[in-house]
Amino acid sequence: MQKLGIIGCGNMGGAIARSLPGKAIVYDSDPRKVEDLNKLADIEAASSLEDLLANVECILLAVKPQILPSLYPLLRKQQSSKKAWISIAAGVPLSVLAKELESEQVVRFMPNIAASQKAAVTAYAAHQNCSEEHIAYARSIAQSFGQAFALNENQFSAFIGISGSAIAFMLQFCHALSMGGVKGGIPYSQALEIVSATMNSTNALLSSSKSHPVELATMVCSAGGTTIEGMQALSEGAFDAVVMHAVQSSCEKSKAMEDRALLAQEISEKR
């Protein structure tokens, strides 16, 4: 597999670099990020953007979306048009990336932070003129750090709501369950371990069974038993509505970011 260049070694760039089968060449404007990553992963540090682009054919952009506009001119100077690109930036459409990078060899990813454990769930979509070769390479990169799902780009915002961002919602749920355990007399660290194991058993049940989650939950509810009491409390607390609102909020923010990126591009084209 050809070497991958990574720009940005923060939470996600670092997580991906740690799980790749080969050595990635990385660049971060903060040298401490590269030093920290070097302790965890087998990487090659590029001394500059120029150095990085001179040594790889494909580059994964792992900086914050708001950093990208300042990066594009520097990348164009290094002949970004001759490179293939993968972007993991939330809310930055393929059309904007292709225009700014002057390359149609662009694949957009939406991974999640479990990439560090090779357990990410990643959506990918390619520019309409992207080569099959680059799409296959990008897919293999996504699969090297977890599962990959081909999605239409217009589904990316919903995907963020149920995966990229939702892993944080699930972690918050694990914390809340653990706090409930503490209230019942189990120390937090032990409660968290039990909750984490329970998440694994939920996942095993859900992924191996053909049943609807509500059907499985109903099997847990004994008549006049303990579970139905908790289910009623969730219902009174509007649990489903709160979760759906969380998904919708992340989805709407992603769409607003995409709209802003498209508008900024339209304005710059008119200048």
Stretch that binds ligand A1CAB, among 16-24, 101-109, 157-165, 183-191 (CB under 6 A): 157-165
The residue sitting closest to ligand NAI, measured at its beta carbon, is 10
* Dihedral angle sign, alpha carbons of residues 68, 73, 74, 79: positive
Which option in ligand A1CAB, ligand NAI, none does residue 42 bind, with CB closer than 5 to 8 A by kind?
none
In one-letter notation, the amino acid at residue 236 is E
Task: Work out what residue 88 binds among ligand A1CAB, ligand NAI, none; the CB cut-off runs from 5 to 8 Å by kind.
Answer: ligand NAI
Q: What are the backbone dihedrals phi and psi of residue 33, each rounded to the nearest 5 degrees, phi first?
A: -65, -40
- In the complex, minimum distance from the CB of residue 145 to ligand A1CAB, in angstroms, rounded to a whole number: 15
If contact means CB under 5 to 8 A according to the sort of partner, which of ligand NAI, ligand A1CAB, none does residue 89 touch? ligand NAI
C-alpha span between 148 and 140 (Å, rounded)? 9
**Binding partner of residue 71 among ligand A1CAB, ligand NAI, none, CB under 5 to 8 Å per kind?**
ligand NAI
Please identify, using beta-carbon distances, which residue of 17 and 195 lies nearer to ligand NAI.
Answer: 17
Q: Restricting to residues 158-187, name those near ligand A1CAB by CB under 6 A.
A: 160, 164-165
Which strands sit side by side in the sheet containing 106-110, from one edge to the other? 43-45, 24-27, 4-7, 58-61, 84-87, 106-110, 120-126, 146-150
Contacts with ligand A1CAB by CB under 6 A lie at 90, 160, 164-165
